[in-house]
């Protein structure tokens, strides 16, 4: 099977992103190699706006074309939309009545053998300490609807460079960004079950628990139990 070609837009992005990443951080990655061919759902944590930059370079280093799930409204921004479309990124149609329809392009991408990167939290974690927060169940829908490897991964170090919530940008001194890939997650126990709200929540939490375990390794710290909930924190006055 031939290596997937990214095209001119991916090459242009690589020309910009590789030196940017090299300037900002020393990269360390461990764990199994990503599959060279076929559909892959790569499930990751999200702590900084720099995450897609570092994750794109890492996936590209693994000889795969990085494709990210992003809200479809980004395609309406003149220059950015053209880049997103040209680079083959994947829109998520939020606000549609049918949850399956919102992920139509993502399902098509996996069926076509693409590697998709998904941040199930939907946005940068609001956990003050950077641990994963409660996630959307779209990742479970994709994982159960497609017979492809579902691979967890955790990355740490980007928030030390760019921290949106605390409004800090600290490019120097050069940081270390660590990424750990896990083994594909076995979802066979769920594949023959009806896709209920409970099943979607269980699978989502299973995937994110594995991401959190890998993040513990990357950080060298123990994570708190469960997942951070912004709504619960607000109720408690945190």
What pLDDT is attached to residue 98? 62
Indicate whether 22 belongs to any domain.
no
Is 229 inside any structural domain?
A: no
CATH number for the domain including 46? 3.40.1130.10
**235 lies in some domain:** no
Full domain range(s) for residue 66:
34-219
Strand runs (DSSP E) across the chain, as ranges? Answer: 25-30, 40-44, 67-71, 90-92, 115-118, 150-156, 162-163, 168-169, 175-181
pLDDT at 78: 85
79 by DSSP, 3-state: which?
Answer: helix
Residue 226, in any domain of the structure: no
Start-to-end Cα distance in the chain: 53
SS3 198: helix
pTM of the model: 0.95
In whole angstroms, what separates CA 29 from the centre of its chain? 15
150-156 and 175-181 strand pairing? antiparallel
pLDDT truncated to tens, each residue of the chain (238 aa)? 566 778 899 999 999 999 999 999 999 999 999 999 999 999 999 999 999 999 999 999 999 999 999 888 888 898 888 888 999 999 888 776 666 778 999 999 999 999 999 999 999 999 999 999 999 999 999 999 999 999 999 999 999 999 999 999 999 999 999 999 999 999 999 998 999 999 999 999 999 999 999 999 999 999 999 999 988 887 777 6
Query: Is 21 part of a structural domain of the chain?
Result: no
How many structural domains does the chain have?
1
């Amino acid at each position: 099977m031939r290596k997937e070609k990214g095209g001119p837009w991916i090459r242009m992005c690589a020309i910009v992103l590789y030196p940017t990443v090299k300037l900002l951080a020393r990269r360390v990655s461990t764990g199994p190699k990503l599959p060279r061919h076929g559909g892959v759902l790569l499930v990751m944590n999200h702590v900084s706006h720099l995450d897609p930059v570092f994750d794109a370079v890492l996936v590209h280093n693994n000889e795969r074309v990085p494709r990210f799930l992003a809200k479809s409204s980004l395609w309406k921004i003149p220059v950015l939309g053209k880049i997103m479309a040209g680079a083959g990124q994947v829109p998520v149609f939020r606000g549609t009545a049918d949850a399956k329809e919102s992920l139509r392009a993502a399902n098509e991408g996996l069926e076509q053998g693409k590697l998709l990167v998904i941040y199930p939290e939907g946005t940068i974690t609001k956990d003050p300490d950077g641990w994963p927060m409660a996630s959307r169940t779209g990742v479970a829908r994709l994982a159960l609807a497609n017979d492809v490897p579902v691979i967890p991964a955790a990355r740490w170090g980007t928030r030390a460079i760019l921290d949106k919530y605390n409004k800090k940008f600290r490019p120097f001194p050069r940081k270390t960004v660590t990424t750990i890939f896990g083994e594909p997650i076995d979802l066979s126990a769920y594949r023959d079950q009806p896709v209920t709200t409970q099943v979607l929540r269980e699978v989502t939490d299973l995937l994110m628990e594995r991401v959190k375990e890998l993040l513990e390794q990357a950080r060298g710290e123990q994570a708190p139990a469960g997942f951070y909930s912004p709504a619960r924190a607000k109720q408690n006055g945190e």
